[in-house]
Copies of this chain bind each other. A is one copy, B any other.
Amino acid sequence: MSRQIDASNELMNPAISTSHSHAIDIRVYYEDTDAGGVVFYANYLKFMERGRTEWLRALGVDQFDMARDLKRCFMVTELDVKYQKPARLDDLLCVDSRITRLGRASINFDQKIFRQTELLVQSAIQICCVDTVNMRPAALPSLVSKKLQAITQD
């Protein structure tokens, strides 16, 4: 399936995104790297957060609105990351996200970062929905819950 790519920008790759998974391309800039010449280990978590956020946005969920209108936001509660190969300046990465479990107040993701077909980083991440006022766990807003059920249910 051919596609013209403007590799200079972050593009959602529809060839890879399906109803069960989501993929975005992310370019590595100087800000992401460290003096070791590679991406600083914490910065891969930024890429993963962008991946989760763009998936939610593609489903019609805007986290700014969710916080303002519904007083709900997401907090990461657990993560497990394996770093296999480093990414470097100017690399074009792909963040691939899948939902492995959908709970009443939490979502589990598997996220992988690739450079073309090479797997660089893989992770299992749990995010929890919390009330922005008291920071306690709270059920996912029903709209969000329905949208995620629709894509995870089959």
Contact = CB atoms under 8 A, between A and B. Distances in A.
Interface size class of A (residues with CB under 8 A): 35 or more
Interface stretch (A10-18, A106-114, A142-150): A10-18
Nearest to A58: B8
**How many copies of the shown chain assemble into the complex?**
4
Contacts of A63: 30, 89-90
Q: Count chain B CB atoms within 10 A of each CB in A34, A63, A135 and give the residue with the most.
A: A34
A87 to B, nearest CB: 11
Interface of A: 3-6, 8-15, 24-25, 27, 29-31, 33-38, 40-43, 45-46, 49-50, 53-54, 57-58, 62-65, 67, 73, 75-83, 85-86, 88-90, 132, 135
A79 to B, nearest CB: 5
A76 B41 contact: yes
Contacts of A67: 35-36, 89
